Amino acid sequence: MNNKPFIAELHDIGKLVDRQALNQAGIQLSAHTFHKFDFSQLGISKPSSPSWYAQFTDEVRSLASTKIPKNYLADVLLTRVADELASAISRTWGGSEDFQNRKKRGEFTVEGIYVLWNPNYYQEEKEDGKKWAAFSTPSEVKDMFDFIENCGNYSEVFERFGDNLKLTAEDKSVPFNIVSLYTHLELTGKIYRILKRHSQVIEDNGRLYIEYLNEKVQTINEATGGRINKLTQKGKWIYRLIFCCINFPQSFSRLRDLNILRKRTDLIKAFSEDSNIKDYVLFFTDDFMCLFIPKEGEVRIHELLEPFLKAGFIIDYKEMEAELNLLTSSMERAYEKFHSLPTRRYLKLYEKRAAPDFPSQVSPPLCGSCQMRQGKERIKNQTREYLCNTCYDIRQMGEPAREYAGWEEKGLRAAWMKITLEQEQLLKTIYRLYEKYVDTHPATQNVSSNDKKVLKESFRPLAVQMDFVKDYKFLLMALKKRIYEIKNSKGEFIFTKETFLYPIENYYEFGVFKVYSSKDILSVLDLFCNLLEEYFSQCLEDSPIKLSLSIAHIKYPYQEHWRFLSKPENIINIQSPRSAKLGIDIVQYKLLREKIRREDQKLSHFLHRLADIEVETKSNMTVMFEILKNRRKFPALLELTQNSLSVRQILDFYKLTREVEIS
């Protein structure tokens, strides 16, 4: 008997097979699963491992099935449930029979993945010599079956076929082809293992059931329920999807307080890698986690998050508790839709907070950092402070940005940089891109308006979010690498490891750099814009990825920098305290860069004059009148105002980036 584990991720390995190439080689294949495959074509026997039966995922919808051995029925059924939850568009989306038949005939089939925010991705990877298919010859297909037979761990699937999985879509038909098979299998595997961990197989009167929290099921629909508009198809299994924002109460009065960022990053990494916990974590960033967990009676959220609470973090979380088929990361949309229907099915949405056990009353002195606990006297370098044990331990983690403390050039300014991924905006952007794809792709132009409507309503953005977050992390790493490759007109590097600091190891959302002139600021902004265009070309006006710069003299209070960096209002946000503050999108930034050129001395002088007028009169109307009066001399300024840029934005951009050399 084969003692290998059942690996749910192998249920879709057949999607890496180039069926056309195999058919040309005389091997007949009709689908991406192999339960009906004639193995005599290859002169081998079919695999006998438990994972082989994952090939029957599309065939088994009930534990009463006789298509596979009884021992594996529960695994296959749970894989089918997980596969449905991990899909970008509901497997039960309910399109017309005409559309379904055309899809089966391959009318909507295209090669490769379509990345909503970067449509050229697949073609560029293909031109670099990469390919989606891992199995194109009879010999390679033999290797595939050998892999199914001998694979001992799901991580082997990603290690061996990762590059192919990233270029292959979960579903190769438009508009289903928007999630990488890599992410789909990751998500399927995590959900499968959580479902299995919190259920048990039982027999009752000779029948097989899977039981979760005293709710036993035999079929997929009994467990998951129907689509949201199926008012009576109630699912028995209730799970939770949770968005966790991990915050801290500490203020930054000392550079060592930056260690709180390291503490948070380290905790999230350890949490997501813990063998007992990691499957609960569907995806994460440096301040956010998405969790899939059972009901509170099975897994207590405060106990699960105890490592963060013990370290003093405050977690604001949004929790959707619902039947499996109703769970979605677009929580508000689903909640509104659900409550617009006369249904008795189950879907709840909560906003909650998990916080440490702060004392209800605190005797003075208060901790000078978190203001939540009693402080103890601490003396360092003849400076007396009052800190609680938690904040003191954070201070003791090391000396981040110690070079910053030594920046003493006369007149030198420093820029604090923060990149932020806003999850709420991410969902809005993904929906906009998906709906545009459904409406505009050539393959969908003869699809009925009703089918398009149902396709949009059946969208499940969770897996797409996961793909986006991966690309976001690639952007952060690319920015860190390329920041040190920027050169000036003389061919000299603008930044070094001493002038552009990443104070927290492996935390790439935050940096600090010396500002000798406006070229330094513009170089960082240009690089960010270029990378956003490279990785997220379709999000230039509603990007959920935001850059903030706070520029001031070295001694400016750190907490004031952080206060601005923590609340970005636009895609690009810049402030010079008590001077100017600017918020613009990428399109506006590029327009300003194009029209306001430093080498145009007359324009610079005029802008300087406008800035003086604005200070003296405190009137945008007066400034606008001056622009209109000089529109023939400086048509660029009038053009900027006609392209949704206000006088205030134009002047602030000029003030923030004007040429001020530090000798």
- Give the pLDDT band (50/70/90) at residue 530: very high
Instruction: Tell me the mean pLDDT in the region 289-305.
Output: 97
Residue type, 326: L
Torsion over CA: 127, 508, 662, 525 (sign)? positive
Q: Is pLDDT of 375 > 80?
A: yes
Note the residue count of the chain: 663
- Give the pLDDT band (50/70/90) at residue 638: confident
Strand blocks (E) in 224-370: 238-247, 281-284, 288-294, 314-323, 347-354
* Angle of the 518-535 helix axis to the 647-657 helix axis, nearest 10: 120
CA-wise closest residue to 328 among 318, 342, 315, 340: 318
The whole-number pLDDT of residue 106 equals 92
Within 8 A by CB and 6+ apart from 295, the residues are: 213, 238, 239, 240, 321
The whole-number pLDDT of residue 661 equals 46
Least confident of 126-140, 333-347, 552-566, 629-643: 629-643
β-bridge mates for residue 244, sequence order:
289, 317
Residue 276 is encoded by which pair of tokens? 């007992």
Within 8 A by CB and 6+ apart from 457, the residues are: 337
Residues 208-221 have pLDDT tens digits of 999 999 999 999 99
Q: Is pLDDT of 109 > 60?
A: yes
The SS3 call for residue 385 is strand
Residues 516-527 have pLDDT tens digits of 999 999 999 999
Contact 544, 429 (CB under 8 A): yes
Q: Is pLDDT of 600 > 80?
A: no
Q: Is pLDDT of 295 > 60?
A: yes
Q: Is pLDDT of 554 > 50?
A: yes
* Other beta carbons less than 10 A from residue 458's beta carbon: 19
**Residue 294: what are its φ and ψ, rounded to 5°?**
-70, -175
Within 8 A by CB and 6+ apart from 204, the residues are: 216
- Give the pLDDT band (50/70/90) at residue 599: low
- Give the pLDDT band (50/70/90) at residue 659: low
Q: Is pLDDT of 662 > 60?
A: no
Torsion over CA: 280, 87, 470, 145 (sign)? positive
- Give the pLDDT band (50/70/90) at residue 619: confident
- Give the pLDDT band (50/70/90) at residue 663: very low
Helix (H) or strand (E) holding 183: helix 181-197
Radius of gyration of the chain (CA): 29
CA distance 391 to 368: 9
The SS3 call for residue 158 is helix
Using alpha carbons only, give the angle 237, 242, 243 rounded to the nearest 5 degrees. 160
CA distance 320 to 241: 5
Instruction: Tell me the mean pLDDT in the region 71-84.
Output: 97
The whole-number pLDDT of residue 1 equals 54
CA 645 to chain centroid, in Å, comes to: 30
- Give the pLDDT band (50/70/90) at residue 646: confident
Least confident of 144-158, 369-383, 421-435, 517-531: 369-383
Residues 34-49 have pLDDT tens digits of 999 999 999 999 999 9
What is the average pLDDT score of the chain?
93
Contact 514, 522 (CB under 8 A): no
